Amino acid sequence: MSLSKKELTAPNQYEIEFSVDKETFAKATDAAYKKNVRKMNVPGFRPGKAPKHVIERMYGEGVFYNDAIDEVLPAAYEAAVKEAELDTVGQPEIDIVSVGADGVTFKAKVAVKPDVEIDNYLGIKAEKKVKRVLKKDIDDEVKRVQERNARSVEITDRAAQDGDTVNIDYAGSVDGVAFDGGTANGQSLKLGSGQFIPGFEEQVVGKKIGEEFDVNVTFPTEYHAKDLAGKAAVFRCKLNGISVSELPALDDEFAKDVSEFDTLDEYKADIKAKLQEKNAKAADSEVESKLCEELIKLMKADIPEAMFVAETENFLRDYDNRMRMQGLDLKTYLQYTGMTLDQMRAQLRPQAEQQVKLRLALEAIAKKENLTAKAEDVEAEYKRVSDAYNVPLDKVKEMIKQEDIEADMVVKAAMDLVKAKAVTKAPAKEKAADAE
């Protein structure tokens, strides 16, 4: 490979020209011939036995050029970019200048990372508001745990009441005709929950076990099943059983059952401590978000469009991967939501732009502050990834370049520096407030 041209054609955009020599290209065409010869029918020769020069004479000299170009281009482009000392971003626009027996020459338009100016990034002021833990917050958490540990008690000596959980059979019909989804046996329903059609649950109240009865309701006009919307329906019902949730007493025995503590007071103190920790982390996260916003405002750069496009595509791939982890792919998700791929890109674009700007700002800070990644920290990060994804360490090192790990680590170090030097204070009205 040889680089013959490097020219700045626009802000943060270069045009480079590079070529692959005759010998290297000949080897690539030979490899393309061996790959494709079995697919070619040449009169007088058995499949796979026709000589290369015969095929070229029959189909043209360039019959194997496309495959050969695909073979040599990636390495040639990478070498050209390295020789040109360009920090490229996004996908290049590559054209073939010439191709033949003497080799191939390419021309590429490439975008590069911009020069970034950033000052006054140490000592940024940010308000830190830690949400207080109130007695109600603790009581609410205890109540959630109490409800999770409630036991179901069967009721046999009275009629159904609001708040009871009933077991019913029902068969619905409109104008005497049954409809899809309108029949069920052994259905559990908590009266007063609003789970069923308005008016249904109220008509179950007062009924006794074994009683059969009709429930008359009208489907809402905005009901999801359009053929039922606004129509009157009759449900023939039978009440099979009644039960209530019996909550455990809130005492020391409850604390022993649901936690590692011996008393209810100790359990509540632990809940309070955990809620305080949660609120502190949330406040730290909010401060970091504010600092990131300020860094983006302080940063000045002429950012190539290619960086925003590439980051948007990264977001799109990540979204697709998350969908797949949930048993859904992006194509199906778009069908469900009625969105197009371009609409999805437009939705992700603002977040992608912010991410690009923040990364550039932090990289510039890392450079100005001479931040570097220590070898032991890089090794620890490789091990963390290995353990997290249960992939052998040597495989992780093959998959992730060391320079990529180092780049991420210095960016994180830059963010840590900005946070450490930031001036944070609580709102005045919060300073005197008690925790409970």
- Short-list 91, 96, 85, CA closest to 19: 96
User: d(Cα 406, Cα 112) in Å, to the nearest integer?
Assistant: 20
Query: pLDDT tens digits, the chain, 436 residues: what are they?
Result: 789 999 999 999 999 999 999 999 999 999 999 999 888 888 888 888 899 989 888 888 899 999 999 999 999 999 999 999 999 998 899 999 999 999 999 999 999 999 999 999 999 999 999 999 999 999 999 999 999 999 999 999 999 999 999 999 999 999 999 998 899 999 999 999 999 999 999 999 999 999 999 999 999 998 888 889 999 999 999 999 999 999 999 999 999 999 999 999 999 999 999 999 999 999 999 999 999 999 999 999 999 999 999 999 999 999 888 888 888 888 888 888 888 999 999 999 999 999 999 999 999 999 999 999 999 999 999 999 999 989 999 999 999 999 999 999 999 999 999 999 999 887 766 443 444 5
pLDDT on residue 434:
46
Domains annotated on the chain, with CATH: 2-112 (3.30.70.1050), 151-246 (3.10.50.40), 263-430 (1.10.3120)
Let me know if 32 is exposed, middle or buried by CB neighbors in 10 A (0-12, 13-18, 19+). buried
* Residue range 200-254, pLDDT digits in tens: 999 999 999 999 999 999 999 988 888 899 999 999 999 999 999 999 999 999 9
Give the helix/strand (H/E) hosting 1: none
User: d(Cα 412, Cα 367) in Å, to the nearest integer?
Assistant: 13
